[in-house]
């Protein structure tokens, strides 16, 4: 069978825009000889719609848009993901559904059975579980339909039921999986293993169609595939870009995994997430405070690739204690990237604030309060430029800093998107070197010099924090793996260091709750997938 895979980039809530993309994809794939066209999960409204589903008219508007799409269909069927209104007797207003549409009618509806409620997912909040048939006959074969999570219970430990086992008794010849599966590092291998297992269990090819693009913190990587049951033949669509292709399931090339290495995937994910966050929010320009350090340099490189060098504005904000290399490295980066870089000194603002606070602070020792006046002065100017020019201010803090609170509220945390906030500092260095692999883009001095916030003379990150390789190891164990203090110490980390870092992570939850949204690229990011209380006293 010739299957048209519509790996599209929907925008959440843009029903008219999504309809236009889908109609174009359907017509193009039909002209290319497709006998069946498949769209991603909830393609009509975008994923995840979250509390848009609670708006009174959202469901009826989606139904109206589905009816408009149906009018474009002819004899070639299309599987369309949409939120289906259901009886409130179930306690939920919707099913997460797929409509089989052809000859200007909805011929059959399939409803997602497994609703994830872990990490970034909260589908039980909105959807009822389906329990109807998940197969249909077309072109002389029986085809099974599954929606994203429906194939993820092959281990049997995520949900009490397994739709794949149910389909195994129906003798299907092909399985369709319509997904909106967000990317994180390592996700591709995990996903391909699942698809392989499902294909083997059902003894039939699997068509996996994934959404692509950024929606809020989440990045969807596409990577749609058609895999045969012997794992010998596979056709993959590109990662991190929209694409529509007609694939003949009887003529699959030999299995070849064409994904990039982790660093290149991370770069592409961050670029795509930044581009879509900006453009889908109505921004064309990005604004970055350039410190001469590696974090702001990496953020600027990603912004230029995402938005174009003509749409990225750099601002150097030196104070009286800023080193000469911090200023020269910022200027060199701007020249390498071909972006405009303005210089706005902050010392007069810092001095003015210190004078106004002098009487109130009389008799008190200078401390981090005075240091933070520099960061907050920079935030003041950056936000003013952002407001005046309508440019999206990009914060430049990394995951390691955000974890331990090595950042200043209303200072360097100001901004609309935290581009690398889920990238540990050790990976910041790795990605910077990866970007420089062919030609120096990020000044080598920005990579080589000891990291510093430069809020006091000769300050270095190492004055307050352990080596980043140690810090990131502890953070990986505590934040992402959920290990206890004692378990982390048994891994070989020094006891007092572990206790201090864990205390910093817990103490700074209030800062993270006020941070700009950040692009998720690890299995567990600070954001919607991690819901720690701000006020709590569990310290194990």
List the catalytic residues.
41, 112, 148
Cα–Cα dist 306/369, whole Å: 36
Cα distance between residue 381 and residue 386, in whole Å:
9
- The answer to whether 5 touches 244, Cβ cutoff 8 Å, is yes
406 and 465 Cβ atoms separated by less than 8 Å: yes
Query: Helix or strand or coil: residue 207?
Result: strand
Residues with Cβ within 8 Å of residue 154, at least 6 apart in sequence: 162, 164, 194, 197, 198, 201
| Alpha carbon distances (Å) from 332 to 338, 436, 440, 445, 505 | 10, 14, 11, 10, 35
Distance CA 248, CA 205 (A): 12
Q: What is the bridge-based pairing of β-strands 206-210 and 225-227?
A: antiparallel
Element (H, E) at 226: strand 225-227
40 close to 47: Cβ distance less than 8 angstroms: yes
DSSP for 109-168, written as a single string: EEE------STT--GGGTEEPP-S--EEEETTEEEEEEEGGGGTTTTSSS-S--HHHHHH
C-alpha–C-alpha distance, residues 348 and 473, integer Å: 40
Round to whole Å and give the CA distance between 179 and 70.
21
Cα 282 to Cα 279, 286, 420: the distances in Å are 5, 11, 21
**Residues 95, 112 contacting (CB under 8 angstroms):** yes
Can you list the positions of beta strands (E) in 261-316? 286-289, 312-316
Q: Answer positive or negative: Cα dihedral of 153, 247, 182, 77.
A: negative
286 near 340, Cβ under 8 Å?
Answer: no
Q: Which residue, 117, 97, 95, 118, is CA-closest to 108? A: 97
Closest CA to 422 of 441, 437, 401, 405: 401
How many CB atoms lie under 10 A from the CB of residue 65? 19
Burial class for 104, CB neighbours closer than 10 Å (0-12, 13-18, 19+): exposed
**Tokens 């200007």 belong to which residue?**
104
Rounded distance, CA 469 to CA 475, Å?
10
């Amino acid at each position: 069978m010739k299957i048209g895979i519509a790996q599209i980039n929907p925008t959440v809530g843009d029903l008219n825009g999504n309809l236009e993309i889908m109609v174009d994809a359907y017509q193009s794939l039909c002209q290319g000889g497709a006998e069946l066209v498949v769209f991603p999960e909830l393609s009509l409204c975008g994923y995840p719609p979250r509390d848009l589903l609670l708006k009174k008219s959202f469901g009826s508007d989606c139904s109206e848009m589905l009816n408009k799409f149906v009018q474009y269909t002819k004899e070639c069927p299309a599987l369309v993901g949409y939120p289906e209104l259901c009886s409130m007797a179930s306690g939920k207003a919707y099913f997460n559904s797929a409509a089989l549409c052809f000859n200007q009618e909805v011929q059959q509806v399939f409803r997602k059975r497994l609703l994830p409620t872990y990490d970034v997912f909260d589908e039980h909040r909105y959807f009822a579980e389906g329990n109807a048939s998940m197969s249909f006959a077309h072109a002389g074969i029986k085809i099974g339909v599954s929606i994203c999570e429906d194939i993820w219970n092959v281990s049997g430990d995520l949900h009490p039921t397994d739709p794949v086992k149910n389909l195994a008794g129906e003798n299907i010849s092909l399985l369709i999986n319509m997904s909106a599966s967000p990317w994180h590092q390592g996700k591709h291998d995990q996903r391909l293993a699942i698809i392989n297992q499902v294909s083997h269990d059902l003894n039939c090819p699997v068509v996996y169609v994934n959404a692509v693009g950024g929606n809020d913190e989440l990045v969807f990587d596409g990577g749609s595939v058609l895999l045969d049951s012997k794992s010998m033949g596979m056709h993959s669509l590109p990662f991190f870009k929209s694409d529509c292709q007609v694939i003949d399931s009887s003529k699959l090339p030999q299995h070849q995994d064409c994904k990039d290495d982790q660093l290149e995937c991370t770069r592409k994910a961050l670029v795509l997430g930044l581009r879509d966050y900006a453009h889908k929010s109505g921004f064309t320009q990005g604004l970055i405070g350039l410190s001469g350090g590696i974090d702001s340099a990496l953020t600027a490189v990603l912004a230029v690739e995402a938005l174009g060098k003509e749409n990225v504005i750099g601002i150097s904000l030196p104070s009286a204690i800023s080193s000469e290399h911090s200023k020269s490295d910022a200027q060199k980066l701007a020249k390498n990237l071909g972006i405009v870089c303005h210089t706005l000194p902050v010392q007069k603002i810092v001095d003015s604030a210190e004078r106004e606070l002098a009487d109130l602070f009389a008799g008190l020792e200078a401390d981090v309060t005075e240091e933070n006046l520099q960061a907050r002065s920079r935030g003041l100017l950056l936000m003013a430029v952002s407001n005046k020019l309508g440019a999206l201010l990009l914060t430049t803090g990394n995951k390691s800093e955000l974890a331990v609170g090595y950042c200043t509220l209303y200072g360097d945390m100001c901004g609309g998107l935290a581009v690398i906030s889920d990238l540990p500092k050790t990976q910041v260095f790795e990605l910077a070197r990866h970007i420089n692999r062919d030609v120096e883009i990020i000044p080598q001095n920005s990579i080589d010099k000891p990291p510093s916030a430069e809020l006091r003379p000769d300050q270095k990150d190492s004055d307050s924090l352990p080596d980043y390789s140690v810090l990131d190891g502890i953070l990986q164990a505590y934040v992402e793996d959920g290990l206890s203090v004692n378990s982390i110490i048994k891994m070989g980390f020094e006891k007092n260091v572990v206790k201090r870092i864990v205390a910093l992570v817990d103490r700074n939850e209030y800062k993270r709750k006020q941070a700009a949204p950040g692009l998720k690229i690890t299995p567990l990011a600070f954001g919607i997938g991690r819901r720690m209380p701000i006020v709590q006293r569990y310290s194990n």
